[in-house]
């Protein structure tokens, strides 16, 4: 448990390490969900977009749980955890990205928030049937929406994104977008498209954005990314050519970095003040893996 005032620094990537039992075998039973809502130990975490308030260094829970709340799962003590959207701004709310960077929350609490944020966002955007336009109904505690007119079933989506560090011998390719903070470089990334394998999507993105063809590649890790519901799939690839051709609509710059420079950027001591994403982000973990 969290001691008030203690800072818990997680070795995990941000938003990973969820501890809830999603109770997939039970949540389709509406009576079971109703009984969980009515339990005095049931708890509700409320978000306004990607913001929520904390109770010290733990989640701030509300009770009782309303009928429109989404069931997230059972915590390790067996208590039901629900999520609800606040239409009004929440006082003293903090955004998920800041919470992940600051590391004050336990990894499992941060994972619960990301889980809640992605599901709540999906419900907001899928109130009407994509097939016939009729209003849909929440089912399975919130893990499904059903159309009573055409019987279409709609399930929460997860959007896969490949994110890749490309190596050429002792050098490492990174790029930067114009909107990023000054000096920030990171792995190349992009959404997978229908009909692609992970490897095909990664090769396409790197070729499109930087003109580099990628041969062999390996998987490093994945990370839920609740903006609003991506799954980052982290890879390391080996370059076939070295001449960079930047797609200026995607990237402001892309270049090869030496291993020494990358190590300096990971440690926050690059002499030119260049930087990479913080340890909560998967790009940081892939870079560390690429240096091994
Ligand atoms: Zn329909």
What's the gap in Å between 137 CA and the centre of ligand 1? 10
Model confidence over 29-46: pLDDT tens digits?
Answer: 999 999 999 999 999 999
Q: Give 56-106 pLDDT, tens digit per residue.
A: 999 999 988 899 999 999 999 999 999 999 999 999 999 999 999 988 899
What pLDDT score does 104 carry?
84
Average pLDDT (229-251) is 97
In degrees, rounded to 5, the angle at the alpha carbon of residue 278 between the alpha carbons of residues 2 and 174 is 160
How far away, in angstroms, is 259 Cα from ligand 1 center? 54
CA pair distance 250, 186, nearest whole angstrom: 13
* Spatial separation of the C-alpha atoms in residues 209 and 260, rounded to whole Å: 24
Torsion of CA 111, 116, 117, 122, to 10 degrees: 130
Output the CA–CA distances (angstroms, integers) from residue 110 to 20, 24, 59, in the order listed.
Answer: 12, 21, 9
Distance 131 CA to ligand 1 centre (A): 5
Distance 144 CA to ligand 1 centre (A): 13
Predicted structure pTM score: 0.92
- Is the bond preceding 173 in cis, omega lying within 30 degrees of 0? no
Q: Phi first, then psi: give them for residue 191, nearest 5 degrees.
A: -70, 140
How many whole angstroms separate alpha carbon 262 and alpha carbon 247? 23
Q: How far apart are CA 176 and CA 48, in angstroms?
A: 30
Percent of the chain exceeding pLDDT 90 equals: 92
Helix, strand and coil in the chain, % to nearest 5: 25, 30, 45
Alpha carbon of 231 to ligand 1 centroid (Å)? 27
For ligand 1, the distance from its centroid to the CA atom of residue 257, given in whole angstroms, is 52
Quote the ligand 1 centre to 136 CA distance (angstroms).
7
Q: Which residues contact 76 (CB under 8 A, 6 or more apart)?
A: 19
Does residue 261 register a pLDDT over 50?
Answer: yes
In the chain the domains, ranked by start, together with CATH numbers, are 1-125 (no CATH), 127-156 (no CATH), 159-291 (3.90.79.10)
Q: How far is the CA of 192 from the centre of ligand 1 (A)?
A: 27
Mean pLDDT in the chain? 94
Other Cβ atoms less than 10 A from the Cβ of 71: the count is 26
Single out the residue of 43, 111, 121 nearest to residue 82, CA to CA. Answer: 43
Q: Which residues are CB-contacts of 194 (< 8 A; sequence separation ≥ 6)?
A: none
Q: Could you give the CA distance from residue 242 to residue 112 in angstroms, rounded to a whole number?
A: 42
Rounded CA gap, 264 and 53, in Å?
Answer: 35
**CA 44 to ligand 1 center in whole angstroms:** 30
Which SS3 state, helix, strand or coil, does residue 250 take?
Answer: coil
Q: Which residue in 180, 202, 175 sits closest to 191, CA to CA?
A: 202
């Amino acid at each position: 448990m969290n001691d008030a005032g203690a800072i818990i620094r997680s070795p995990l990537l941000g938003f990973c390490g969820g501890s809830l039992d999603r109770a997939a075998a039970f949540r389709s039973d509406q009576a079971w969900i109703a009984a969980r809502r009515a339990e005095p130990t049931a708890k509700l975490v409320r978000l306004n977009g990607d913001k929520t308030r904390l109770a010290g260094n733990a989640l701030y829970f509300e009770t009782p749980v309303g009928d429109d709340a989404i069931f997230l799962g059972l915590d390790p003590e067996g208590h039901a955890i629900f999520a609800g959207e606040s239409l009004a701004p929440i006082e003293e709310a903090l955004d998920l990205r800041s919470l992940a960077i600051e590391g004050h929350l336990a990894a499992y609490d941060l994972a619960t928030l990301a889980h809640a944020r992605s599901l709540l966002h999906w419900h907001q955007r899928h109130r009407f049937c994509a097939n016939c336009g009729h209003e849909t109904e929440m089912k399975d505690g919130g893990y499904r929406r059903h159309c009573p007119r055409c019987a279409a079933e709609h399930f929460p989506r997860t959007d896969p994104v490949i994110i890749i560090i490309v190596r050429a011998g002792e050098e490492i390719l990174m790029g930067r977008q114009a909107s990023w903070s000054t000096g920030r470089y990171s792995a190349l990334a992009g959404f997978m498209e229908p009909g692609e394998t992970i490897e095909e999507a990664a090769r396409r993105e790197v070729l499109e954005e930087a003109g580099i063809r990628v041969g062999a590649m390996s998987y490093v890790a994945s990370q839920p990314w609740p903006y609003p519901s991506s799954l980052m799939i982290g890879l390391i690839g080996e370059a076939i050519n070295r001449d960079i051709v930047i797609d200026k609509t995607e990237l402001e710059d892309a270049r090869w970095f030496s291993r020494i420079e990358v190590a300096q950027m990971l440690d926050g001591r690059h002499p030119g003040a260049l930087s990479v994403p913080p340890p909560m982000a998967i790009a940081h973990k892939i870079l560390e893996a690429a240096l091994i």
